[in-house]
Amino acid sequence: MRTVTLTDVFAHPIAQKYLKRSGLAHAITAAYHAYHLALRHGVNVDLATKAALLHDIGHYTWYKNGRWDYEQYRQNDIHAIKGAERAHKLLIRLGEHPQNAKEIALAILLHTDSYLPEGEWKRTPLQAIVKWADEADEEPGGRHHYRTISDDLAWKKIRQLDELVSRQHGKERLGDIV
């Protein structure tokens, strides 16, 4: 049994506020990519889809004179840090198991290299999948953040993905027991 579904997360006002800020269409597409990637690589689909859905909720709006200021963004952005913290708080509030909330938060923290020190280090499979899922939906100039989707279609896609995840998660759990 999943404690917290994508629908639970999506319905929360905090998620609504920040998902809409950084692009609902991008978050949902990344969550679908994460589902398929997790299936292919034998990673927990429940954690992968929640992390991908929430990966950008830490974005701050870097506006100057009514326009996005990329220079300010590039220099000062900490969206992965803020997103990890917001996602963790939200998931714990919704009743997520602390171990899951931690894994999801870490995958969000490490989904981008933009602020990390240079060097060789290795992501876990879950962390790699969230990064790939994000990259798979990236468009030049950050246009993926501006793609729109209607609320109706967004809800439909979230519910559909929840069904897929629940079905797969049930199989994974059974595999643990057998």
| In the complex, minimum distance from the CB of residue 169 to Fe ion, in angstroms, rounded to a whole number | 24
CA–CA gap between residue 105 and residue 159 (Å, rounded): 22
Contact 154, 7 (CB under 8 A): no
Which three-class secondary structure state does DSSP give residue 96? coil
Residue 65 is classified by DSSP as T
Q: Which residues bind Fe ion (CB under 5 A)?
A: 56, 134
* Of 17 and 97, CB closest to Fe ion: 17
* Of 2 and 47, CB closest to Fe ion: 47
| In the complex, minimum distance from the CB of residue 112 to Fe ion, in angstroms, rounded to a whole number | 8
* Of 43 and 51, CB closest to Fe ion: 51
| In the complex, minimum distance from the CB of residue 115 to Fe ion, in angstroms, rounded to a whole number | 14
Radius of gyration of the chain (CA): 16
**Taking the CA of residue 53 as centre, how many other CA atoms within 13 Å lie in the half-sphere pointing to its CB?**
31
| In the complex, minimum distance from the CB of residue 94 to Fe ion, in angstroms, rounded to a whole number | 22
* Of 4 and 83, CB closest to Fe ion: 83
Identify the H or E element spanning 26.
Answer: helix 24-41
The first and second tokens of residue 146, run together, are: 């501006």
Which position's Cβ is nearest Fe ion? 134
